[in-house]
């Protein structure tokens, strides 16, 4: 009976209490041994949390790589029935496989088509949320705080003969704001660099933000003006948040200067688009987009949009309409990536971004921006699961207490949510441990 009692005592202490060990207790928190709870393994403590989630194991035709591994396909290993395989590729948990896929000759058909799409918008307009919905997996970080995306990230949609490459850029900011807030230079430069290779620009506007929705930001307008030869479409996002749908008519008129696809937008036409949320406004044949002046420094809209979409990025039906439009716009040409590529990010980058996403979501004010992340363990466990340990370094003890939370509940919640997200991205079991330490 002693052993069961000991196990129960450990379980209660793990779930409800804080485990402090040794002289480092005030500056570093460590986890107790893992406790098996059915199919899950949870190591819960103040500051270090490990969580494992059930899913397909890493074992496949090649023991080193994931189930339905794209590398297995390249190397010619037998594959399961394609009708049973997921339609959206998983991201490999191994950097070498991901790198091999990125440089491997694309497995494209003879009639291949391709489209490079740049998503532009103000900070927090919903670009990463929309990108995740279009891709079918949450590979880009999302939070309500601005500047969640710190540098350009790339996602790939491959369906049949078409490949759409999404460039999820940071929210465009001015150089003045970049210097004032000591932000990375990538927040200013990446959107401009992306435009140089774009085939289509998607301008995203958050219509739920009454302070910014009535005009395009000067930086977005400057970008559109400089690259006016690149076709562009307007996407009004978060329309489900509007109580009065008539506001969409006013916004459409302002943001397009009353002109779409070379024709003046009539109220009747706008009403038609407003009544069919999730579909783009039908328009006559386009005129030359350069017919309209782009030199007015006071302008608030862009008269060269080819189409308008109104959607909620959280509504799959609306997003699928936009996705099918993008696939249809793909032009004949060679693919840039193998069909097994979903993103150009390394698995470690995806994990770090997911943790940062949760820090931004749950921590107040400036606290999440001062957390430094360091991955110390990234390996395959004894049962084929992915084992991750990341240290979260904070500059103040007060920040440490905030991040740990009462009885370790906050850091536990963050680890569990990150584990679930990573399991969906990698399609394998994930055991993640977060350690909060004071920065020396």
Rounded Cα gap, residues 34 and 429, in angstroms: 15
Looking at per-residue pLDDT, the higher value among 29 and 230 belongs to 230
Q: What is the DSSP letter of 247?
A: H
Domain 95-263+299-332 in CATH 3.50.50.60? The answer is no
Query: Strand locations in 153-304, DSSP E?
Result: 153-159, 162-168, 200-206, 232-237, 259-260, 263-264
Predicted pLDDT at 289: 38
- The model's pLDDT over 154-195, given as tens digits with 9 standing for 90+, comes to 899 999 999 999 987 664 544 434 343 343 434 334 556 778
What's the confidence (pLDDT) of residue 141? 86
Q: Are the C-beta atoms of 317 and 396 separated by less than 8 Å?
A: no
For the ranges 10-19, 133-142, 241-250, the maximum mean pLDDT occurs at: 133-142
Domain 347-438 matching CATH 3.40.50.1970: the answer reads no
β-strand partners of 235: 204, 309
What per-residue confidence (pLDDT) applies to 167?
87
Q: Which tens digits make up the pLDDT trace of 315-365?
A: 777 899 999 999 999 999 999 999 999 999 999 999 999 999 999 999 998
Q: How far apart are CA 91 and CA 95, in angstroms?
A: 10
Tell me how far CA of residue 298 lies from CA of 222, 273, 294, 295, 417, in angstroms: 11, 27, 10, 9, 45
Q: pTM above the 0.85 mark?
A: no
In this prediction, residue 40 has a pLDDT band, given cuts at 50, 70 and 90, of: very low
Distance from CA of residue 141 to its chain's centroid?
A: 4
pLDDT digits (tens, 9 = 90+) for 70-106: 444 444 545 444 444 347 899 999 999 999 999 999 9
Give domain limits for the chain.
95-263+299-332, 347-438
Task: Give 302 or 282, the one with higher predicted confidence.
Answer: 302
pLDDT at 435: 94
Spatial CA neighbour of 30 closest among 52, 16, 41, 14: 14
The pLDDT value given to residue 162: 96
Q: How many angstroms separate the CA atoms of 297 and 218, rounded? A: 9
| pLDDT value of residue 291 | 34
In angstroms, rounded to a whole number, what is the distance separating the alpha carbons of residues 50 and 149? 26
Confidence tier at 26 by pLDDT (50, 70, 90): very low
């Amino acid at each position: 009976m002693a052993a069961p009692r000991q196990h129960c005592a450990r379980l209660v202490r793990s779930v409800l209490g804080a485990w402090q060990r040794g002289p480092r207790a005030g500056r570093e928190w460590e986890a107790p041994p893992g406790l098996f709870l059915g199919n899950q393994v949870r190591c819960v403590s103040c500051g270090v949390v490990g969580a494992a989630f059930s899913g397909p194991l890493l074992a496949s035709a090649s023991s080193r790589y994931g189930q339905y591994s794209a590398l297995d396909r390249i190397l010619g290993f037998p594959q399961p029935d394609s009708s049973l395989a997921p339609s959206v590729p998983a991201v490999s948990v191994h950097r070498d496989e991901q790198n091999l896929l990125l440089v491997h000759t694309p497995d494209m058909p003879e009639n291949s088509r391709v489209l490079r799409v740049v998503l532009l918008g103000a900070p927090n307009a919903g670009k990463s949320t929309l990108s995740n919905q279009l891709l079918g997996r949450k590979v880009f970080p999302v939070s309500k705080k601005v500047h969640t995306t710190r540098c350009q990230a790339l996602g790939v949609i491959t369906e049949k003969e078409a490949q759409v490459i999404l460039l999820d850029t940071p929210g465009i900011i001015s150089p003045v704001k970049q210097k004032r807030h000591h932000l990375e230079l990538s927040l200013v430069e990446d959107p401009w660099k992306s435009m140089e290779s774009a085939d289509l620009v998607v301008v995203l506007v958050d219509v739920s933000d009454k302070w910014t929705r009535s005009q395009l930001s000067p930086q977005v307008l400057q970008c559109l003006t400089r690259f006016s030869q690149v076709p562009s479409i307007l996407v009004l996002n978060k329309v489900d948040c509007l109580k009065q749908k008539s506001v969409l008519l006013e916004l459409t008129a302002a943001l397009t200067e009353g002109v779409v696809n070379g024709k003046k937008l009539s109220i009747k036409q706008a009403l038609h688009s407003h009544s069919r949320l999730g579909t783009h406004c039908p328009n006559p044949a386009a005129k030359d987009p350069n017919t309209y002046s782009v030199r007015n420094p006071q302008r608030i809209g862009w008269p060269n949009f080819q189409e308008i979409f109104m959607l909620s990025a959280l509504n799959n039906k609306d997003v699928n309409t936009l996705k099918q439009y993008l696939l249809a716009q793909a032009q004949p040409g060679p693919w840039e990536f193998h069909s097994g590529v979903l993103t150009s990010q390394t698995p470690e980058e995806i994990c770090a971004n997911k943790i940062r996403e949760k820090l931004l979501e749950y921590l107040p004010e400036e606290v999440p921006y001062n957390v430094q992340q360091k991955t110390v363990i990234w390996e395959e466990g004894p049962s084929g699961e992915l084992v991750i340990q990341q240290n979260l370094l904070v500059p103040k003890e007060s920040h440490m207490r905030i991040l740990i939370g009462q009885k370790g509940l906050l850091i536990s919640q963050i680890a569990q949510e990150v584990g679930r997200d990573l399991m969906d991205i990698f399609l394998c079991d994930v055991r993640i441990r977060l350690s909060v330490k004071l920065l020396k």
